[in-house]
Amino acid sequence: MLISQSSNNGFISALESPNPITNSYEKYSSNFNRLKEMENWSEILILGNQALIDNLMTEVQKAKTHAQLASCSYYLGDYDGCAKHANSCLEISECLDDPNMIMRALYLLSAYKRGEGNKNASVDPKQADQYFKEARSLIDKALQCFDYCKDDFIKAKVLFNAGAAHSDDPHGDLEIAIPKYQEAIKIYQSLEEYDDFARTSIRLGKVFLLQKRYAELLDLLNKMDISLLPTKTKVHYKYLEAQYFVAMLDYPKAQLVLLDAINDATNLGMETDLSRLTLLLNSIQRLSFEE
């Protein structure tokens, strides 16, 4: 048994294998799935960046590592880090002429541009518009490779990001976003990728909420089994469910759902979500008082 400890966060991992780990890439790849399940993105970045520095891997492995680190950077809100790794993935994948990895790099770059658009929406709308246009341009390039891609999971990710490039943009076309989300949902369902299925369904539900298509929103909510969701996704589900109850003027049910979601968000330290949930709860309480 080899014990390693990260100096940054005190994370301790136990690696049990009959064969000793001989280099930093093997250490990174053997730990990746476990760290991903724990959502320990920082530790993945530490191990992955060291593996890239040591450069004891093939070009295919290097492209995959850059893609994985781009995703981790995005989850941590480090959009510059996401762009750096996604661009490196794209450069290597184009040299390898690998349509799967080219599409993966393009949807990551689109997500980066979309993230910057969201970040700038309230402070610099003109700059945000440009970011959203670039996000759509990148995802359109990925869609052009669609027929050459053999990986259904990557196809679903591209469709998800194609929908998000429109639904996140205040000037986007929701009628384009809807079928993209619906196609992605079908693929995730067929692959039994339930968390991705639910997260995409929640995004589609937000579109239906904006369009006041409440029957379709309720149908989406009913198709998701909340018991199968990780807690973070449950919080997002409950927020959407509470919004549905508000639209139906059922304030007591909305408050119960929100209080449950606030408890989960507090336990996970989901500060941004906690703020949004509390704001909605306060609004409902004011409405209930006025009645």
User: 156: domain CATH number?
Assistant: 1.25.40.10
Number of independent structural domains in the chain: 2
**35: pLDDT strictly greater than 70:** yes
Domain's final residue, options 229, 254, 271: 229
- Does residue 13 sit within a domain? no
pLDDT of residue 9: 43
Tell me the C-alpha distance between 49 and 271, whole Å: 28
Are 253 and 277 members of one domain? yes
**E strand or H helix at 261, and its extent?**
helix 251-268
Average pLDDT, the chain: 91
Query: Could you say which of 229, 259, 281 is where a domain stops?
Result: 229
**Distance separating alpha carbons of residues 156 and 239, to the nearest angstrom:** 24
Dihedral, 199, 202, 206, 211 alpha carbons, nearest 10: 130
- Distance (Å, rounded) from C-alpha 56 to C-alpha 26? 9
**Would you say the C-alpha torsion 21, 24, 29, 35 has a positive or negative sign?**
positive
CA–CA distance, 243 with 239 (Å, rounded to integer): 6
Q: Does residue 126 surpass a pLDDT of 90?
A: yes
- Name the least confident of 8-12, 123-127, 144-148, 252-256: 8-12
Query: Which three-class secondary structure state does DSSP give residue 39?
Result: coil
Average pLDDT of span 254-268: 96
Tokens for 170, please give them.
């205040």
In a domain, 82, yes or no: yes
Region 29-55: mean pLDDT is 95
96: domain range?
Answer: 19-229
Average pLDDT value for residue range 96-107: 97
Whether 3 maps to a domain, the answer reads no
Residues 239 and 161 in one domain: no
d(CA 217, CA 100): 33
Amino acid identity at 290: E
CB 88 within 8 A of CB 48: no
pLDDT of 54 > 80? The answer is: yes
**8-state DSSP, 226:** G
Percent of the chain with pLDDT over 70: 91
The answer to whether residue 20 scores a pLDDT higher than 50 is: no
Regarding whether 176 and 48 lie in a shared domain, the answer is: yes
Residues 244, 218: Cα–Cα separation, whole Å: 8
User: Per-residue confidence at 6, pLDDT binned at 50, 70, 90?
Assistant: very low
Q: Rounded distance, CA 165 to CA 206, Å? A: 14
Under the banding of pLDDT at 50, 70 and 90, the label for residue 272 is confident
Please indicate, yes or no, whether residues 188 and 201 belong to a single structural domain of this protein. yes
Nearest CA-CA partner of 110 in 81, 129, 82, 89: 82
Specify the pTM: 0.87
Which has more confidence, 285 or 99? 99
Question: How far separated are the first and last CA of the chain, in Å rounded?
Answer: 64
Q: Tokens in use for 109?
A: 């770059």
Interatomic CA distance for residues 208 and 213, integer angstroms: 5
pLDDT in tens, 165-219: 999 999 999 999 999 999 999 999 999 999 999 999 999 999 999 999 999 999 9
**For residue 52, what are the CA distances in angstroms to 33, 57, 215?**
18, 8, 49
